[in-house]
Structure 1
Amino acid sequence: MKNTPTDTGRTVVVIGGGFSGLATAGLLAVSGHRVTLLEKQEELGGRAGRLRRAGFSFDTGPSWYLMPAVIEHWFELMGTSTQNELDLVDLPIGYRTWFQSDYTPLDMPSGAGAREAFESLQPGAGAALEKYLEKAAESHHLALEHFLYADLSDPASVLDPRLLPLLPRLAPLLAGSLESFVAKRFSDPRLRQILGYPAVFLGSSPKRTPALYQLMSHLDLTQGVKYPMGGFAQLVDAMASLCKDAGVQVITGAEATGIEVSGTGANARARGVRWIQEGTQRHLEAQTVVGAADLHHLETGLLPPEYRSSSAASWKRRDPGPSAVLLCLGIAGRLPGLSHHNLLFTADWDDNFGRIHRGEDLAEETSLYVCMPSATDPSVAPADHENLFILVPSPALPAWGTGGPDGTGSAQVEAVADAALDQLAAWVGIEDLRERIVVRQSFGPGDFAQNVNAWQGGALGLAHTLGQSAFFRPSNHSSKVHGLHYAGSSVRPGIGIPMCLISAEIIAKKINGITGKGPIDPGRPAWAAAAPRTASAREARP
């Protein structure tokens, strides 16, 4: 059942069809606005890419389903639920870990199992973990209540008197590093790595990430880890379906070439978007424009200099976060030594992260993330085969080049991919791994730059350093142009699917005149009127 935008709603153009673009378009459409979404690639998803080859289906972007309540909330605002739209399963093991020179794997389940795993490496660490996770839960609550859904561009949010009593607790979490916070509580270096690794998925390192992000451990070690059957492409498809049902006009293969602005100074206002499709220049007028793509590209590629919120000098001071070399592998036969999520940690993290931050070549062995969704989902690989996705955090250097099928990528990308493949085989004990490869596809920093206009080929978005978190992260609203807003991993609140969905909600609150720090109440009139979805919506999708 399609929702009909009201005659009084705004005309909106959203640039970018990734998670933040879809989330923004859906929320604005369901609250009565007329929305067109432009996506330059032929398929929606942005960084959440997909690859289909020889019966394998690979996610080439996000693969870790965390903060399920945030994702559920977006679906609720769209008049449905994840239960209706997705087939979510709980992973019995959150992830499996390996440590350099000690190739005995350690499983990390959630709840009591996590305490037992910690205790096995350091006597007393189980009880210490309970206290740590209590603080992580507090940090998670503080972030949700005061920061994540708040429009920190509003002085009322920054000067909220309710924050004053919390300053003694907040100050060390915002000013101290995750590395030092963990080190004060655990002496075993392996446990420090387990609690510090979330910084990598925030585009940073434990030494450069605020201690507040200990909240990430609450998510996987307390709440557990879920997986959408069919892969994260299913999440993209479900969101796209809801957007279209809400009245969003989705146009793929449409590359935005300029944001049109009228007026100068305080009177500057967004008026529309220029775009090109199949070689033809086109134009859309709009009262509101939402840039849900890489912020650097939006500001330096689509806006004239006088309308840019950030100066060239400010961009030189910013940290793009790491890029990555990705390797998608179809493997003949089973790999029982691997779990769904797997983390391989090198002993010298300072050297590992330093090389990435300084833009140097990686060591022969480096920290890896390996996802094997076929351990959970038989639909992503042919029978008696495995689907592997290897992510190697790498410097943000597009000059490293792009990947390609069957080893045809740039020399630098394929060398990193080969080293990761050999490291995985040695650490996990799969001597014939290379011989069992039936599908191979690599991606490099150049692919992120080309495919999603990522600044310096960054894989995730601006790093979550102290100077690029919370109040200090770029705003969701242009400081120079009325009616121009920004969503996605380059702006507040940050990196990851849940953060992208929250950035969309910050914009929806602003455009709909909703004040308050927390999430939108689904009972508000604009959302209560959304046409509810039936329980069969998921089954009806192809």
Structure 2
Amino acid sequence: MSEQSAVVIGAGVAGLATATLLSREGYDVTVIDRLSQPGGRAGSYTTQDAPGFRWDSGPSWYLMPEAFDHFYRLCGTTTEEQLDLVDLQPAYRVITGPSADEQDAEGVVGTEGAGDAGNALDRVLDITPETIIDTFESIEPGAGERLRKYLQKSSLVYEVAIQKFLYNNFTRPQNLMTWEMLLHARLLAVLLARSLDSYVKTVAQDSRLRQVLSYPAVFLSTEPKQAPALYSLMSHTDLIQGPKYPRGGFAAVVDSLVRLAKDNGVKFQMATEVTEIVTFGKKQRVRGVRIAGGDMDGDGEHGQHGQHGRIITADVVVSAADLKYTETKLLPQSLQTYPEKYWDKRNPGLSSVLIYAGVKGKLPELAHHTLLFSRDWDPDFEAVFGPQKSLQKSWSHSIYVSKTSATDADVAPEGYENLFVLVPAAAEPEIGHGSAYIEDSSKVNGGVAGRGEDERVRSIAKQAIALIAQWAGIDDLAQRIVVSKTVGPADFAERYYSWSGGAIGPAHTLAQSAFFRGKNKSAKVESLYYAGATTVPGVGVPLCLISAENIIKRLRADHTPGPLPES
């Protein structure tokens, strides 16, 4: 019997992980990506304008270590062999800014002295798993004990999610009807019925403490008022486990995934556009994919030339590209499981304006991870998610800054810092392009020749830097920036074909979580599957790894919940 073949569309985390697991299942695997380098949104960014600087271009929080550990063991290796993980102290820093009514029309200028050191104790929290309960208690008497109970429940729900929900294609719902699930049914029902925002209010009244518990909703591409309280499980990852840093950043994670794929015989065809998922037969099953151009790093023995581009034949196709793009652009309407009308009532989540900045001198005011929150952040979420959002008021003043130079000496020249700034923005490509990929006229990184940075993106980036300067007390921050590159919502739409220019993936609302998020298998084309942040189980690097494993469970007709056995 000849070896079966598989094509994986997309060389991001999910595509790389899926390709390796498919190869270990005995498939002859080819990965195809329109960009020239693997990694997708989890790539690495450098610029000739500033030699010596390097930024992770997307994900920067290493959470859910069990997902990484399990994936690497499935691949016959270990996290310790692949990555050099560093504990962060503090895990992250929280800086509270002025309330919305204390800001000017641009949302930057706060009350006089908002950035002064005199207010620092009132505005800065260093979060560590070891001291988090004491920190809550010192700020609000009684909150420490309430947090302890909250974290006990979050750990329980986290374990249930790992064993029952995340590694699950929900092909046999009766498998969820276990004594364990019945035991926790009441708690799960309560957490599904209320929002994360209302749930954390039972723990603390202090706005800073509530924000510490509810900010993970943003990393789930939604807002605390729309995220089910079930996602309190995220507090287990950052307040009990604590984030780690893979030395070399997430570029090191991507490098390890590429090595594993190649070591397992996976072939790569980069800088290649997939233009169609090709099907055949009365019942319609995949024949392969049609491509336009590109170079093969293998022998390409499965290639066939057609009138409108070469076809790479395959017995199985897995798209780790954006699901909406896959369904509505790579398949004819008659074969779409999720046609245009399906997306009309769905929530694309948030986009962002990213800033890659190199700064002269040290920035002790910022930790490796720093979260800057408006004291009243409801207007921030309204600007990003609300029905009245506009291009003039479309970004959040609660933002995230990563300073990996605090931990890694190789990401910036000596005496300099590198800053990755994520400014949540509405999922509106009309906000515009940034400057990061303009220089790449050859499209090596997906850039477009002759296009400039849009004024709206430039304005948001300028205001965000001013906000950081004021709230963190770094008065000369803007003057010390030696290089600054930006990415806008239009870049996400252009580079990754992401729905509405989303930066992370569809929002994790109740209607878009677990089995409500859709299926990772086409209902109309046999042997066509989906992986990545835009399908189940959801957004984030760990869940992308899990999505790859769920493809293998599909192919094995494995209906059990929970991770695969590690042979």
What runs of 5+ residues in structure 2 fail to find an aligned partner? 99-113, 296-307, 439-451
Question: Is the 8 Å Cα contact of residues 16 and 292 (structure 1) preserved in structure 2?
Answer: yes
Q: Cα RMSD between the aligned structures? A: 1.8
Name the SS for the 1:386 alignment partner. Answer: strand
CA offsets 1:470-526 (integer angstroms, 9 cap, x no match): 110021111111100000111111000000010110001111333311111111xxx
- Residue 46 in 1 paired to residue 46 in 2? no
The residue aligned with 2:484 is: 440
CA offsets 1:451-476 (integer angstroms, 9 cap, x no match): 11100000000100010001100211
Give 1:441's aligned amino acid: K
Q: Distance in 2 between matches of 1:28 and 1:406?
A: 33
Name the SS for the 1:438 alignment partner. Answer: strand
Q: Where do residues 183-198 of structure 1 align in structure 2 (5 Å cutoff)?
A: 183-198=201-216
What runs of 5+ residues in structure 1 fail to find an aligned partner? 1-6, 524-542
The residue aligned with 2:21 is: 27
Question: Is the 8 Å Cα contact of residues 323 and 445 (structure 1) preserved in structure 2?
Answer: yes
2:467 to 400, 423, 426: 423
Q: Distance in 1 between matches of 2:66 and 2:492?
A: 29
Question: Is the 8 Å Cα contact of residues 413 and 444 (structure 1) preserved in structure 2?
Answer: yes
Q: Distance in 2 between matches of 1:458 and 1:156?
A: 35
With over 3 angstroms needed to count, the CA separation of the structure-2 counterparts of 1:9 and 1:68, relative to structure 1, is farther
CA offsets 1:292-324 (integer angstroms, 9 cap, x no match): 010000001101111111132221000000000
1:349 to 377, 381, 385: 377
Q: Distance in 2 between matches of 1:470 and 1:272?
A: 29
Name the SS for the 1:47 alignment partner. Answer: helix
TM-score, normalised via structure 2 length: 0.88
Give 1:277's aligned amino acid: G
Give 1:290's aligned amino acid: V
Cα distance, 1:143 vs. partner? 0.5
Q: Distance in 1 between matches of 2:557 and 2:346?
A: 31
Question: Is the 8 Å Cα contact of residues 321 and 462 (structure 1) preserved in structure 2?
Answer: yes
Count the aligned residue pairs.
515
Q: Where do residues 82-121 of structure 1 align in structure 2 (5 Å cutoff)?
A: 82-101=79-98, 104=120, 105-121=123-139
Question: Is the 8 Å Cα contact of residues 69 and 78 (structure 2) preserved in structure 1?
Answer: yes
Question: Is the 8 Å Cα contact of residues 381 and 396 (structure 2) preserved in structure 1?
Answer: no
Bigger mean CA offset, 279-288 vs 41-50: 279-288
The residue aligned with 2:508 is: 464
With over 3 angstroms needed to count, the CA separation of the structure-2 counterparts of 1:106 and 1:8, relative to structure 1, is farther
Question: Is the 8 Å Cα contact of residues 269 and 294 (structure 2) preserved in structure 1?
Answer: no
Q: Distance in 2 between matches of 1:405 and 1:113?
A: 39
Q: Distance in 1 between matches of 2:455 and 2:365?
A: 30
Q: Distance in 1 between matches of 2:418 and 2:341?
A: 43
Q: Distance in 2 between matches of 1:330 and 1:313?
A: 44
- Residue 373 in 1 paired to residue 417 in 2? no
Cα distance, 1:405 vs. partner? 5.0
Name the SS for the 1:129 alignment partner. Answer: helix
1:274 to 290, 301, 316: 290
The residue aligned with 1:538 is: none
Give 2:95's aligned amino acid: W
The residue aligned with 2:327 is: 299
Q: Distance in 2 between matches of 1:216 and 1:119?
A: 21
CA offsets 1:254-273 (integer angstroms, 9 cap, x no match): 11110011134xx2211100
Bigger mean CA offset, 11-20 vs 305-314: 305-314
Q: Where do residues 105-504 of structure 1 align in structure 2 (5 Å cutoff)?
A: 105-157=123-175, 163-264=181-282, 267-278=283-294, 281-358=309-386, 359-360=389-390, 361-362=392-393, 366-405=397-436, 409-504=453-548
Q: Distance in 2 between matches of 1:120 and 1:167?
A: 34
Bigger mean CA offset, 143-152 vs 94-103: 94-103
Cα distance, 1:173 vs. partner? 1.3
The runs of at least 4 consecutive aligned structure 1 residues that moved more than 6 Å come to none
- Residue 11 in 1 paired to residue 5 in 2? yes
CA offsets 1:192-229 (integer angstroms, 9 cap, x no match): 11100000000000000011110101101101110011
2:559 to 504, 515, 525: 515
Question: Is the 8 Å Cα contact of residues 395 and 426 (structure 2) preserved in structure 1?
Answer: no
Q: Name the % identity.
A: 45
CA offsets 1:344-398 (integer angstroms, 9 cap, x no match): 1112322111111133343897100000000000100000100001100000000
Cα distance, 1:275 vs. partner? 1.0
Give 1:301's aligned amino acid: K
The residue aligned with 2:68 is: 71
Q: Distance in 2 between matches of 1:236 and 1:296?
A: 24
Q: Distance in 2 between matches of 1:156 and 1:286?
A: 33
Question: Is the 8 Å Cα contact of residues 164 and 176 (structure 2) preserved in structure 1?
Answer: no
The residue aligned with 1:533 is: none
Give 1:512's aligned amino acid: R
Bigger mean CA offset, 44-53 vs 379-388: 44-53
TM-score, normalised via structure 1 length: 0.92
Question: Is the 8 Å Cα contact of residues 106 and 117 (structure 1) preserved in structure 2?
Answer: no
Q: Distance in 1 between matches of 2:86 and 2:557?
A: 37
Q: Distance in 1 between matches of 2:366 and 2:379?
A: 26
Bigger mean CA offset, 44-53 vs 219-228: 44-53
Bigger mean CA offset, 399-408 vs 220-229: 399-408
The residue aligned with 2:301 is: none
Q: Distance in 1 between matches of 2:165 and 2:398?
A: 31
